[in-house]
Amino acid sequence: MKKRWMSMTVSAVLATAMLAGCSSGGSNGGNNGEGASKPENQAPAATNAPQVKIKFLNWEKPEVYQPAIDAFEKKYPNIKVEYVPVVENDSNETIKKIDVMYASGEAFDVFSLNSVPNFSQRSANGMLEPLDEYLAKEGVKFEDEYKAEQMKLDGKRYSLPGKFGPWFILMNKTQLDEANLQVPESWTWDEFRDFAKKLTKGEGPSKQYGVFFHTWKDYLLLRQYSSAQDQGIMKDDGITLNADNPLMKASLELRYAMEQEDKSATPYQDIVTQKIPYRDEYFQGKATMLPTGPWMISEAGGTDKIPATFVSAFAPWPTNNKGDTNYSFGGADSLVISSKSKNKEAAYQFIRFLSTEGMALTKQLSAWKKADVASEVDAIVGATKSPEMIDKASLLNTLNVSALPNPANAPSYAADIEKAYIAEAEKYILGTADIDSTLANIKVNLQKIIDANKK
């Protein structure tokens, strides 16, 4: 069933919190409860229980989560939370270090995971505590509480949703205005391609490209992310390779055509050899459009490292056909409990609080159905260095029309599948293999990985 992650009208949307998936959350400090909805049916605060301390590992700066931690400790005075930003603003390096800490027996209780492969691998190897019994004991039905389903393994739930949101197209509004183009409220990939052509100008080092596609697998699945199901390299069942999906071929062909034929996308070879950061390419005005995720909402308002020098607008993820529902890639980070935690009940209370009323205090979008999304947006924008540099009207429209499918099942070897897919797809993007041989090699080489991992 098609589900919009936000069904309220634009007029209802105005204020608090954002998903900062693989980058900084962009929050200032302070423990104000602005935008936080009053919880219903929450577990009662513990007052007479023995004092316990839990450790929460993440990659955000301390000021992002501290307001939520303060509110939690006030509600649950017997539980103290130590927050540890393992590698600030680098989720992947943080997770690598968490793996080492877990293997060495270092004590910690709660941490975050940023992707399906990272979740599936760690749930399969026994690193995560199953949550079904905790939810049942509290009398919580997941679907009644959250608008973002989470990955399961063998039917068991191991996570609650953290920061949340859809992917979209981030746009330099100044350059749009110069090209006499309006911010789209809904559009197709053909229209997106046409925009990129019109926004491309100049030559050589000073050339302005219409769009920047990064090296992640997401930029090789563009049209698939516009579908209601089977958005990934594997089908939603987590068992079957998705290489026969015509949208995989169409996604690769779109990327190739925009780069090699239209010359409207930053060349892949330059991105790899020069290690071009996507933030620099966008914020320096070298590329007008950037397909990206919700963590970039706050960054559009400027950071200490990269100030905002132009207004950023937001457009929904393009559709494959005119009139289609605006499906997008996205979801929520996973809040999980270490299977070695010695304070699992307290850890569960913390992630329940953080995944509900607490997330609003972090100035990030939440997956809690009772959240005031209007307040979440305002708080995100208001906490940036330059709120006036965010075109709020286009952001609200984008969030309002975007829909997310239920998440796919993912195999524990998803990271290997992604790596192999990118290795084959980039040969086509670089022009060293044609599309048919690329797809044939994807089928053969990725199927070998699947077969090698069959139980």
Confidence check: pLDDT of 221 > 50: yes
Confidence check: pLDDT of 372 > 50: yes
The region of weakest confidence among 32-41, 238-247, 299-308 is: 32-41
CA dist., res. 186 & res. 312, Å (int): 17
Comparison of pLDDT for 120 and 215, the residue scoring more: 215
Mean of pLDDT values over 83-89: 94
Comparison of pLDDT for 374 and 326, the residue scoring more: 326
Mean of pLDDT values over 370-375: 84
- Averaged confidence pLDDT in the chain: 88
Query: Percent of the chain scored above 90 by pLDDT?
Result: 73
8 contact partners, CB below 8 Å, separation of at least 6: 373, 374, 400
Mean of pLDDT values over 345-374: 92
Local confidence band at 454 (pLDDT 50, 70, 90 cut-offs): confident
| Per-residue model confidence as pLDDT tens digits over 16-38 | 333 333 333 333 333 333 333 43
Local confidence band at 410 (pLDDT 50, 70, 90 cut-offs): confident
Confidence check: pLDDT of 45 > 70: no
Mean of pLDDT values over 328-333: 88
Confidence check: pLDDT of 357 > 90: yes
Identity of the highest mean pLDDT range in 15-19, 93-97, 116-120:
93-97
Local confidence band at 11 (pLDDT 50, 70, 90 cut-offs): very low
Local confidence band at 115 (pLDDT 50, 70, 90 cut-offs): confident
| Per-residue model confidence as pLDDT tens digits over 97-112 | 999 999 999 999 999 9
Query: Percent of the chain scored above 70 by pLDDT?
Result: 89
Of 16, 337, 340, 297, residue with least CA distance to 166: 297
Residue-level pLDDT at 409: 79
pTM of the model: 0.78
Confidence check: pLDDT of 120 > 90: no
Residue-level pLDDT at 21: 37
The region of weakest confidence among 91-100, 146-155, 203-212, 440-449 is: 146-155
Confidence check: pLDDT of 417 > 80: yes
| Per-residue model confidence as pLDDT tens digits over 173-215 | 999 999 999 999 999 999 999 999 999 999 998 999 999 999 9
Domain architecture of the chain: domains with CATH:
14-164+332-386 (3.40.190.10), 168-292+413-452 (3.40.190.10)
CA dist., res. 392 & res. 163, Å (int): 20
| Per-residue model confidence as pLDDT tens digits over 247-303 | 999 999 999 999 999 999 999 999 999 999 999 999 999 999 999 999 899 999 998
Residue-level pLDDT at 331: 79
Residue-level pLDDT at 390: 97
Residue-level pLDDT at 408: 81
